[in-house]
Amino acid sequence: MIDLKTPQEAHNWRFKQGSAKIGFVPTMGALHEGHAELLRRLRPRCEKLVLSIFVNPTQFGPNEDFSRYPTHQPQVLEADLQLARELKVDAVYLPTPGVMYPPEASTWVEETRVSQPLCGPLRPGHFRGVTTVVSKLLNAVQPHIAYFGLKDAQQFFVLERMARDLDLSVSIEGVATVREPDGLAMSSRNRYLSEMDREKAPQIFRALTEVEQAVLRGEQPASVCDRARHALSASGFEVQYLECLELPNLLPSQNPSDAPLLIAAAAKLGSTRLIDNVILRPEKLAPLNIRVHL
């Protein structure tokens, strides 16, 4: 497995690969089965598989968990590299913040519609940090295909729009959320949960599934979401949002009985912020040329 540390090293490696099909999975490390699934599913679709591990400072708010993010521990990064070797990753791109953001850098990439609802107002600057870093990573690696998890559904739809708007020559594709046996979406942040909160955490997915079923029965999304929000609050979650929006623009649905929908939630348990979602009628994304693997 080749180690790449700068955009220049990534470019040199990339040009040596000639016309080989390049697949790319960007991550912030502290890898778990969700990340492994993206790599496993992309491996047979490409000739060279690239993983990046970069805890991107520009997507964290001032009171978020950047400095305690698990990847900063050397043993976590070592385990990540071991897993990457086992999954037959060809090259791992590990830039430093200094390489990614030299002091004179003054350019941002910003998507201005899909990034507005849900996490947008709660994490000012977050999606601008994500679109900027992913643009830079895609420019360094120049892959044919990049896989992103639908666990971060809003992020996926923002990046898919960005690639389209900027005419990037990469296929941005989404992969189904990998869950623990009790339904909790796998996340590098689950390790912050106390034992009691870990037991409670799967209620988010259960609430989302109940909303899905009610919407499929023809109930009004707004009132179903209200009910689910109250039920989670009563169980001790600090619910930041639980909403049903139409895909791919993440606008309130004009047509909840027919359109592809995202039912998404963010809630805090103690100081840990969890997000999860379910997608209704994902088959309606294919005609829009939006590729998801479920």
Selecting among 11, 35, 72, 230, the annotated active-site residue is 35
Per-residue x/- track, 36-75, ligand AMP (CB under 6 A): -xx-------------------------------------
- CA 216, CA 263: separation in Å to the nearest integer? 12
Residue 127 makes contact with ligand AMP by CB under 6 A: no
The DSSP string of 188-219 is: GGGGGS-HHHHHHTTHHHHHHHHHHHHHHTT-
Rg (CA), the chain: 19
List the end-to-end C-alpha distance of the chain, in Å, as a whole number: 29
Binding ligand AMP by CB under 6 A: which of 177, 203, 253, 277?
177
User: Nearer to ligand AMP by C-beta: 154 or 253?
Assistant: 154
For 35, phi then psi, to 5°, come to -65, -45
Nearest residue to ligand AMP, by Cβ distance, number only: 149
Residue 208 makes contact with ligand AMP by CB under 6 A: no
Stretch that binds ligand AMP, among 61-69, 119-127, 174-182, 254-262 (CB under 6 A): 174-182
User: Nearer to ligand AMP by C-beta: 34 or 221?
Assistant: 34
Residue 243 makes contact with ligand AMP by CB under 6 A: no
Per-residue x/- track, 18-37, ligand AMP (CB under 6 A): ---------xx-----xx-x
Residue 143 makes contact with ligand AMP by CB under 6 A: no
Residue 175 makes contact with ligand AMP by CB under 6 A: yes
User: Nearer to ligand AMP by C-beta: 42 or 178?
Assistant: 178
Q: How many CB atoms lie within 10 A of CB 33?
A: 12
- Alpha carbon of residue 54 to chain centroid: 14
Stretch that binds ligand AMP, among 97-105, 149-157, 223-231, 237-245 (CB under 6 A): 149-157
- CA 243, CA 290: separation in Å to the nearest integer? 21
Show Cβ contacts of residue 258 under 8 Å, excluding neighbours closer than 6 positions: 281
User: Nearer to ligand AMP by C-beta: 30 or 261?
Assistant: 30
Binding ligand AMP by CB under 6 A: which of 114, 185, 193, 204?
185
- CA 282, CA 109: separation in Å to the nearest integer? 28
Stretch that binds ligand AMP, among 3-11, 97-105, 185-193, 244-252 (CB under 6 A): 185-193
Question: Which residue's structure tokens are 């998404």?
Answer: 264
User: Nearer to ligand AMP by C-beta: 158 or 214?
Assistant: 158
Q: Which residues bind ligand AMP (CB under 6 A)?
A: 27-28, 34-35, 37-38, 148-149, 151-152, 175, 177-178, 185-188
Cite the active site residues.
35
